[in-house]
Amino acid sequence: MVNAHDLLWGMTPAHAPADAPAWVLEALSAGHPVVVRRAIAQAGHVAVGVRGRLREQRFAAVMPMAAVQRRVVPEALCDVISPRNLPALQALDQLRPVLARENWGVTGSAGFELASGIEALHGASDLDLILRTPTRFDRGDAEDLLAILDTAVCAVDLQLQTPFGAVALREWACPSRRVLLKNASGAQLVLDPWQALV
């Protein structure tokens, strides 16, 4: 089973739809991984996103599960050290001790770069993280964690992954009653991201 933000290798241009732009075919031809996205795919397939060199180059596609040759999960990237010296990577170094006791991982451009070795970060990149929270994460704890993240040398976007989807830490730490929960079915405002949606 794969989860959102997992990186998968094995998708080729032959798996891309006919309307895929040239940069998608180039990325797949070069053997770049694709990232699992939150969407429903038909049986035997997984919804993925292809990344290009430019920020606006993101393409939604589906990949046959049978084509997957390698999978890297966000948690596998926590201790990967990059030789590059960029704010997002400095922030990652800064936050490792803070999150050491948690079940967390690196996603977004930093995760892509750390997993693949392909340069995806730049000086203004945010650091994207995920924190697995199978049980309720107290809003007070969310406020405390957000305060620490906000001391990092770049913007940090952390998602809390609940059994029913993901919610932004920044939203959960705010006083608003409802927060946006994202899952494969879409996004909706909920009172409690750890309760099954009815």
18-61 pLDDT, tens per residue? 999 999 999 999 999 999 999 999 999 999 999 988 888 999 99
CB 112 within 8 A of CB 35: yes
In the chain, where the domains are located: 7-72, 74-190
The sign of the CA dihedral 143, 146, 148, 150 is: negative
Copy the structure tokens of residue 126: 């945010």
Using alpha carbons, list the distances in angstroms from residue 93 to 10, 31, 134, 135: 30, 28, 25, 27
| φ and ψ of 22, to 5 deg | -60, -35
| Catalytic annotation, residues | 126, 128
123-181 pLDDT, tens per residue? 999 999 999 999 999 999 999 999 999 999 999 999 999 999 999 999 999 988 899 99
- DSSP structure class, residue 163: T
Q: Which helix (H) or strand (E) holds 45?
A: strand 45-51
pTM, full prediction: 0.92
